[in-house]
Structure 1
C-alpha cells in the first residue's frame, strides 16, 4: 500500500482511487482541514455546534467569517500545530478532553485559547489542578518525616473532598486552603492556622481544634459535632447552618461570627466571647453560657431553653 493510501476516521488522506463526485450539499456538510500539514475531515456541524461563539465556529459558520485559504486538494489551511489539534477536534465532537499520555496538555491549552474554546480551556485547567493536588498518602509521608512542632506550610493548597480523618495535623498552616467537603473527623488540628480557609460542608466531627486560629473561615454547613474548640479563634467566621452540638467551646472567640441557624445544642460556652455574633435562629438548647460575653449579639429567633446557667438578658438584642 502506498503511504498516501492510509485511511483514518480522524485524519483524512487521498486514495489511489478517484473519489466519487460529491453533491453541493455534501461538500457543504463535510470539511477537510489542513492543520500544520496534518489533514482532518469532519463536519461543519462539529466545528460550529459545541461552542458557537468560538473563533473556529465563526470561521466555518456560513453566515459569519470567511474560512481560511484552501490548499490544492480543497482543504482549509490553518497555520497551527496539528499534533495538538486532534484533542481539540475530539472535544468538539463529544465535549470531553481525551488525550494520549505523550501529549502535553499545555500545548492543547494554547490551541484551545487560540480557537476561543472556553469550555475546553476550563476542562484542561481542572485536570491540571487535580493532577497537582496532594493525596492522603502525600500527607502521611510528610507527617511521618516531621515533628509535630515543625512548622508545615500548606497555605493556599487545593484539597477539596480529601480524607484527612484521624491524622495528627497539629500546628500546620492551612491559611487560605480549600478544604471544602473534606473528611477531618477526629483529626488533631490543635494550634493550626485555618484563617480564611474554605471549609464548607467539611466533616470535622470529633476533631481537636484547641487554640486553633480559624478567623474569617467559611464553615457553612460544616459538621463540628463534639469538637474541642477550647480557646479557638473563630472571629468573623461564617458558620451559617453549621452543626456544633455537644462541642466544648470554653473561652472560644466568636466575635461577629455568623451562626445563623446553627445547631449548638448542649455546647459548653463558658467564658466564650460572642460579642456581635449573629445567632439568629440558632439552637442553644442546654448550653452553658456562664460568664459569656454576649454584648451586641443577635439572638432573634434563637432557642434558649434548658440553659445550664442563667444569662443576663439585658445584654442580648432580641
Structure 2
C-alpha cells in the first residue's frame, strides 16, 4: 500500500498522510475530507498535474488545489523571511474570511485584536487548513469592526442590527467605537415622553419621514423647540407639550403645519406667526398668549381652545371652528 503526504496548494504546513487506493477520484475525495477543501487537482512537488493514480509513488509529497494553478510552497527559511516582512494576514470569522493587515488590527492598542495579533503570540491563535486565523464570532457584526479599524469611521450596511455591532465592539474592547455606536443607537430612538426634544432631533425625524407617511409624535415633550419654516404637513403632534418652565417660547414661525393634528397640546406663548395651519386640528389646545399674526387658520378646528391674550392680527380664519372657546374671539384681534 502506498502512502503519500498531502498539503494544500502553496503551503507546507498541516500536511496529512493518507493511503492511496482505488482511483484518482477516490484520492481527491480523501483529500477533500482530510484538508477541509473541495479537492479538484493534485500536483507533484515540481508542479506537475497528476491525472492518473498510477503516477503516484510511495512517500510522494503532493499538493492539492481547488482548481487553481500550482503554487510552489515556500521553504522554511523563505517563509520566515516572508512572515517577518509581510503585514498581511487572513482571519476566518465564523466561516467567512477577511484579509487585512496586522497594522490595521493593532490600531486600537488596548483591544483584544491588538493583543491577539501583536508581535508576541500570547493567545496561541488557531488556524484553519489554509492558515487563516480562526475567530468564533459573527462575520456580519465583525465587518463593521474591521472597517472602523481601517477607516476610523463607523461604516455599516443597511439593515444591520447596530446592537449586535455594539456587542462586538465591547467584546473586542474597542471602546471608542462602542461609544460612537451608543450615541447612534440612542439618537435613532424616539425621545423619552418626558424629556424635551431638540429642534435638531425633530427635524431629523421630519427628514427621515416620507411626505406621504405619517409622522407621529403624540404626547412628546417639545419644550422650547424652535422650528422656523419647518415642513410638518400632516404630522401627528397630538397632546404635545410645547411649554418651557424656564420661560422659553416654542418658535414655529412660518412652519407648514397644514392638516397637522395637535389636539390637546400645551402651547402657551407659542410663536406661530405666518405659519400654515389650514385644516389643522387644534381642538382643546392651550394657546394663551400665542402669536398667530398672519397665520393661515382656514378650516382649522379651534373649538375648546384657550386664546386669551393671543395675537390673531391679520390671520385667515375663513371656515375656522371656534365653538365652545374658553375665551371669546374679539373683533379687536383683527382677523380676516
What TM-score, normalized by structure 2, do the two folds share? Answer: 0.42
Report the structure, 1 or 2, having the larger strand content: 2
TM norm structure 1: 0.44
Question: Highest Rg: 1 or 2?
Answer: 2
